[in-house]
Amino acid sequence: MRFSTKAIHVGEEQRDDLAAPLHQSTTFVFERLTDLELVARGEKFAYTRVGNPTQSLLEKKVAALEGGKASVVFASGMAAISALVLSAAKGGDHIISTDIIYESTHELFEFLRELGVEVSFVDTSNAENVEAALRESTKLVFLETPTNPTMKLSDIKAVAEVVKDKNENTLVAVDNTFMTPYFQRPLELGADVVVHSATKYLCGHGDALGGVVVGDSELVSKMRRGVLKDFGGAISPFNAWLIIRGLKTLAIRMERHEKNAMVVAKFLEEHPKVKRVFYPGLESFPQFELAKRQMSGFGGMLSFELADESRAQRVLESVRICKLAVSLGTVETLIEHPYSMTHRRFPNKEAFGITKGLIRLSIGLENVEDITEDLEQALERA
């Protein structure tokens, strides 16, 4: 099956009902004590904190779409990333992370330092920087590509090669939230693990929190039986059901997100009040060639910097169709100010290009002329 068909049919082949049922039960009944052996083999469910038929269906779908052997879902994207790092590293171990990342991920890694885990924030857009930072104790290399909010790319294949050449047991993980498996295939490029905030594009409608980790069966089992069971970051069955529903339109939504984003990016690039646009699909984007090589599409996320940063607040408060809000990947176009919103506490942010004049857009599915006209009037009022 190809991508769109997998998104619709994987895990649902043997049912009579068209829509997946919602299993809201917290616990499951046993006929005999020996049924516990089935739970141990993953053939029966016992308690929804560890597994549930609705959660399991979501896991099967995302694993199939990413091309992974297994996956485990969580209550949020941050719960998924937390489970990954807690499973991969302990006190005395070392982690390498992309330097420009989502603020909460950055703060999680800073917290890990208090637990004795060493963390190096590295410009992973150059694989040589990763190679130089590797140690014998490095257990995880965490890539966010494209980065939030500057859209900077890391060459997944090149990073995976230098890491595995030095230590084949070091995990290479990619946060694939921005691109989704429809546009970027990290496991096929050499990564070991993929993480998502399923809240975003996988869900697509801004109505359910969720996270997911995709990898090999051993790693996934370790996270499920360890971090998920004991820390309790389980996704609600209803949220899992909503994300399953969202996945069925993922391909067609991503195509429209990208189509609209390209038009908006070109419009902004030509606007006299815009200093520069950060979108991998533009030929002016510094890593355009890598974007073409690494991704099959350029996604729906972009950022732009105003020529006069003092006008940012006016632009943000003048939009009518675009919604001033954090998050991304919804059918509505969302606009936000990283400097004061998603990356408010990010250290040395201006040095990384997160300036007062930087605005991030998650391009939605509206008529693109309505989006550009809204941005036009907001820019004119600024």
Q: Using CA atoms, how far apart are residues 54 and 370, in angstroms rounded to an integer?
A: 38
CA 117 distance to own-chain centroid: 23
Residue 49 falls in the annotated catalytic set: yes
Strands (E), 241-286: 274-278
Out of 200, 224, 253, 311, the active site residue is 200
10 Å Cβ neighbour count for 164? 14
Residue 135 falls in the annotated catalytic set: no
| Contact call for residues 194 and 213 (beta carbons, < 8 A) | yes
Cβ neighbors of 207 (< 8 A, separation 6 or more) are: 242
Q: Using CA atoms, how far apart are residues 123 and 130, in angstroms rounded to an integer?
A: 8
Out of 175, 253, 339, 349, the active site residue is 175
Out of 44, 49, 135, 266, the active site residue is 49
**DSSP helix/strand/coil, 252:** helix
Out of 102, 201, 279, 339, the active site residue is 102
DSSP secondary structure, 350-367, as one string: GGGT--TTEEEEE--SS-
Angle ∠(354,193,70) on CA atoms, nearest 5: 135
| Contact call for residues 118 and 137 (beta carbons, < 8 A) | yes
Asked if residue 186 has a cis previous peptide bond (ω within 30° of 0), the answer is: no
Residue 175 falls in the annotated catalytic set: yes
Asked if residue 347 has a cis previous peptide bond (ω within 30° of 0), the answer is: no
Residue 102 falls in the annotated catalytic set: yes
- Active-site positions read 49, 102, 175, 200
